[in-house]
Amino acid sequence: MLHNLIKQAAADIAVAAPSRRSVLMGGGALVLGAMLPIRVRAEDAAGPKIVGPTDPRPHAFVRIAADNTVTVLVKHLDKGQGIMTGLATIVAEELDADWAQMRGEFAPANGELYANHMFGIQGTGGSTAVTNSWDELRMAGAAARAMLVATAAQRWSVPAAEITVEKGVVKHAKSAKSATFGELAEDAAKQPVPAKVTYKDPASYSLIGNTALHRLDHISKTNGTAQFALDVRRPGQVTAVLARSPRFGGTVKSVDDKAARQVAGVIDVITLPIGVAVIAKNTWAAMQGRQALTVEWDDSKAEKRGTEQMIADYRALADKPGAKAAAKGDAAKALAGAAKVVEAEFVFPYLAHAPMEPLNATAQLTQDGGCEIWAGSQFQGVEQKVAAGVLGCKPEQVKINTLWAGGSFGRRATPDGDYIAEAVTIAKAYPKAPVHLVWTREDDIQGGRYRPLFLHRIKAGVDASGKIVGWDQRIVGQSFMAGTLFEPFMVKDGVDSTAVEGASDMAYTVPNLAVDYHLTKSPVTTLWWRSVGHTHTAYAKEVMIDQLAKAAGKDPVAFRADMLQDHPRLLGVLKLAAEKAEWSKPLPQGRFRGVAVHESFGSFVAHVAEISLNERQQIKVERVVVAIDCGQVINPDVVKAQMEGGTGWGIGHALRDQITLTDGVVDQTNFDSYEPMRMSDMPVVEVHMVPSTLRPTGVGEPGVPGAAPAVANAYFSATGKALHVLPFAGAGAV
């Protein structure tokens, strides 16, 4: 059978590993540098380069059982983006399986077998899951198919070339013999793995690109049976909540836990360097216990500024040149000679990810000094190391069970494995039982790891013919790479590439471009947030472009198209969105529209937003037309869902979300004050995909960057007012 052979595969990989590692991992050093600003360029996408190992490894990814089910081992976390479905589709296609027999299962933590080839370690992020799995899963599917065919050929004594496979049935027409995968599986597993396989011609795909396939999780997530990390129930487990400093950078000074210990159900209270852990029989008791604690915090090293002060500090920095992120031509000179100059200052607030399932993890120490973890694990490679560091064991002694994650948006992947480290630290201090650490929503909203606060100052100008001649941009904000193991790769000469991506590499034809960056520091913790740097750079760029188009007296779509002549894929989605939104036709009375186009994570997306205004001139987003080019589309409906969700995410936060601080304490606490987008805010989203057979690229993030600026541009066209400070509610536009 092809199942249960992961161990054997692991041994194979171990033998093959050194040479492969040296290629993949840059001679031993972890190539974590690829983590975020991954730009699978058009030329790479078309090229023959294989991402990852070049030999098929069916045993690592495919299990065929006697009951005729085919299970794909999914090395990436599915946090809603549909990757379990996507990766299973790739295997099923090359295997010629029937979609109904496909299953998915999260792979165990195993860096040798399941590294993300763009990270060098096991982990999910940067919209890389499909693009880095594309080759290995096509190979795995094709190899498994060849092994099934070889088995049938031997069993029936017929030439393999005469055997066909269709919808999970292996057939030999001449002898009228046929067998299911399940009937062949056990013998097929004993076949040698072919050294080379041939892929199907995309023209013959029946599952890839098929709009009728259902997601693998469409039933378990509608009847309450899908298991999330928060649903883990280990025998004898206890629940822990942690009291953390209300100010970032604060530490425990003194604790009075008498009242907390009196709370029914509270088992123990443990003061740790990370905070005060309340261990209880159940979540409610733990929360009640924490409320009864009296903790005095040492704020001597904590952030005590409010957001207003921080913005004032950023403003002062923006007056001075920063580290150079882009310097093309002479922007200052070009601007001095420009016919018209537009200046703007943009402010982007801190934002929380607030995934629907609050952060949580269960940790249980094991006899050998290691531990077992149950979590919606997104960065297995980091978490194994972090947990090993806490326990003083080897990373291999940390077993991670990955479960469905109730959203992440970047939050579950941290360079220091934050909440996993907390769970393991508490389990080490309370080794008697499995410990389930649960964050409340308040912990989450006030707990940091925010999209950083950013301030941009832009000065750009057009010449008399309406062409952009110069663009000078200063970006001020924290780097979430600084101080982490990613810093050496991501921060060069004072520039964090994730803070300037989307700005320093502007696609528009701008002959003189200067982008500077000021890296600021604060104990407030920050993190990548769905679409990372593009969350602010795309907004500033696209809103500015509309202002420049107006200054030049040009139509926003035509103005952009003129400057994208060297970027056919961006131009393609711009034209497609404009055409589908009927850009050239007038809108009904009271409707206004705006456009934005942006490349991120190797995918190209254009948004055309249509809004109306109420009597108080407040925005209602009515409709958004999205066009995307993400290469070969694996699951059209999943791509559509990600564009819908990404658009909602971008717009939802722009409307009214911000995290602010007063004297260093976060003002928002829960969904009453950090107001999520709701049903009545959601526009109709229409999605159009550019047909392509280029290497597939990600869709989890690229739907976000252009959504908010398209809405802002619609508002600009309606009112003549550009929205430079987010959220829109601040300007009374919501």
Partner 1 sequence: MIRLNINGQEREVDVPADMPLLWVLRDELNMTGTKFGCGIAQCGACTVHIDGTPTRSCVTPVEAAAGTAITTIEGVQGKAAQAVQAAWQKMDVVQCGYCQSGQIMSAIALVAENQNPSDEDIDAAMDGNVCRCATYQRIRAAVKDAAKTMRA
Positions that interact with partner 1 (CB under 8 A): 79-82, 214-215, 217-228, 230-231, 233, 239, 264-265, 281-284, 287, 354-358, 404-407, 409, 440-441, 637, 641, 644-645, 647-649, 652, 670-672, 676-682, 684-685
Applying CB under 6 A, does 703 fall inside the site for ligand FES? no
Give the residue with the Cβ less far from partner 1, 84 or 197.
84
Strands 371-375, 360-365: pairing is antiparallel
Residues 6 or more apart whose CB falls under 8 angstroms from that of 495 comprise 323, 324, 325, 504, 517, 519
641 binds, among partner 1, ligand FES, none (CB under 5 to 8 A by kind): partner 1
Applying CB under 6 A, does 646 fall inside the site for ligand FES? no
Chain positions 59 to 88 lying near ligand FES, rule: CB under 6 A, are 80
| Local structure of 69: helix, strand or coil | coil
Give the residue with the Cβ less far from ligand FES, 407 or 448.
407
Give the residue with the Cβ less far from ligand FES, 220 or 366.
220
Applying CB under 6 A, does 700 fall inside the site for ligand FES? no
Give the residue with the Cβ less far from ligand FES, 358 or 452.
358
Fill in the per-residue mask, 347 to 386: x = in contact with ligand FES (CB under 6 A), - = not in contact: ---------x------------------------------
Give the residue with the Cβ less far from ligand FES, 407 or 447.
407
Give the residue with the Cβ less far from ligand FES, 375 or 388.
375
Least distance from ligand FES to the Cβ atom of residue 78, Å: 11
728 binds, among ligand FES, partner 1, none (CB under 5 to 8 A by kind): none
Task: Determine the Cα angle at 52 with ends 49 and 58, to 5°.
Answer: 115
Strand partners, 228: 404
Give the residue with the Cβ less far from ligand FES, 406 or 602.
406
312: its two tokens:
């004032």
Tally Cβ neighbours within 10 Å of residue 389. Answer: 15
Least distance from ligand FES to the Cβ atom of residue 105, Å: 21
CB 506 within 8 A of CB 541: yes
Query: What's the rounded Cα separation, in Å, for the pair 541 and 534?
Result: 10
Applying CB under 6 A, does 123 fall inside the site for ligand FES? no
- Which residue minimizes CB distance to ligand FES? 356
Give the residue with the Cβ less far from partner 1, 49 or 678.
678
DSSP 376-412: --S-HHHHHHHHHHHHTS-GGGEEEEE-B-S--TTTT
CB 144 within 8 A of CB 93: no
Helix (H) or strand (E) holding 142: helix 129-156
Strands 340-348, 454-462: pairing is antiparallel
* The residue count for the chain: 734
Give the residue with the Cβ less far from partner 1, 199 or 671.
671
First-last CA distance in the chain: 59
Burial, 123: exposed, middle or buried (Cβ in 10 Å; 0-12, 13-18, 19+)? buried
Farthest CA pair distance, the chain: 83
Least distance from partner 1 to the Cβ atom of residue 294, Å: 22
Strand partners, 266: 280
Q: Site for ligand FES (CB under 6 A): which residue of 53, 250, 407, 461?
A: 407
282 binds, among ligand FES, partner 1, none (CB under 5 to 8 A by kind): partner 1
Give the residue with the Cβ less far from partner 1, 331 or 354.
354
Least distance from partner 1 to the Cβ atom of residue 408, Å: 8
Could you tell me which of 249, 257, 186 has the C-alpha nearest to residue 5?
186
Give the residue with the Cβ less far from partner 1, 281 or 328.
281
Query: What's the rounded Cα separation, in Å, for the pair 38 and 602?
Result: 7
Phi, then psi, of 644 in degrees rounded to 5: -60, -50
Number of residues interacting with ligand FES: please give it, by CB under 6 A: 3
Q: Tokens 């609050």 correspond to what residue?
A: 358
Give the residue with the Cβ less far from partner 1, 283 or 719.
283
583: its two tokens:
């850009």
Give the residue with the Cβ less far from ligand FES, 1 or 356.
356
644 binds, among partner 1, ligand FES, none (CB under 5 to 8 A by kind): partner 1
Could you tell me which of 729, 732, 733 has the C-alpha nearest to residue 349?
729
Strand partners, 363: 373, 435
Least distance from partner 1 to the Cβ atom of residue 387, Å: 24
Displacement of CA 558 from its chain's centroid (Å): 32
Applying CB under 6 A, does 5 fall inside the site for ligand FES? no
Residues 6 or more apart whose CB falls under 8 angstroms from that of 244 comprise 274, 275, 443, 447
214 binds, among ligand FES, partner 1, none (CB under 5 to 8 A by kind): partner 1
Least distance from partner 1 to the Cβ atom of residue 725, Å: 23
CB 299 within 8 A of CB 664: yes
Query: What's the rounded Cα separation, in Å, for the pair 328 and 330?
Result: 6
Least distance from ligand FES to the Cβ atom of residue 641, Å: 10
Query: What's the rounded Cα separation, in Å, for the pair 369 and 384?
Result: 13
Least distance from partner 1 to the Cβ atom of residue 366, Å: 24
586 binds, among partner 1, ligand FES, none (CB under 5 to 8 A by kind): none
CB 230 within 8 A of CB 357: yes
Least distance from ligand FES to the Cβ atom of residue 287, Å: 12
Least distance from partner 1 to the Cβ atom of residue 650, Å: 9
Strand partners, 240: 279, 437
- What is the rounded radius of gyration, in angstroms, for the C-alpha atoms of the chain? 27
Applying CB under 6 A, does 194 fall inside the site for ligand FES? no
630: its two tokens:
């993400």
132 binds, among partner 1, ligand FES, none (CB under 5 to 8 A by kind): none
Least distance from ligand FES to the Cβ atom of residue 356, Å: 4
> DSSP E strands: which ranges in 499-591?
512-520
81 binds, among ligand FES, partner 1, none (CB under 5 to 8 A by kind): partner 1
Least distance from ligand FES to the Cβ atom of residue 407, Å: 5
Least distance from partner 1 to the Cβ atom of residue 727, Å: 16
333 binds, among partner 1, ligand FES, none (CB under 5 to 8 A by kind): none
Query: What's the rounded Cα separation, in Å, for the pair 160 and 144?
Result: 14
Displacement of CA 368 from its chain's centroid (Å): 34
Give the residue with the Cβ less far from ligand FES, 614 or 680.
680
Query: What's the rounded Cα separation, in Å, for the pair 228 and 374?
Result: 9
Least distance from partner 1 to the Cβ atom of residue 266, Å: 12
Applying CB under 6 A, does 587 fall inside the site for ligand FES? no
Query: What's the rounded Cα separation, in Å, for the pair 675 and 533?
Result: 22
Least distance from ligand FES to the Cβ atom of residue 283, Å: 12
Least distance from partner 1 to the Cβ atom of residue 231, Å: 4
Applying CB under 6 A, does 682 fall inside the site for ligand FES? no
Residues 6 or more apart whose CB falls under 8 angstroms from that of 618 comprise 732, 733, 734
Give the residue with the Cβ less far from partner 1, 74 or 515.
74
Give the residue with the Cβ less far from partner 1, 84 or 524.
84
228: its two tokens:
């999330």
Residues at the interface with ligand FES (CB under 6 A): 80, 356, 407
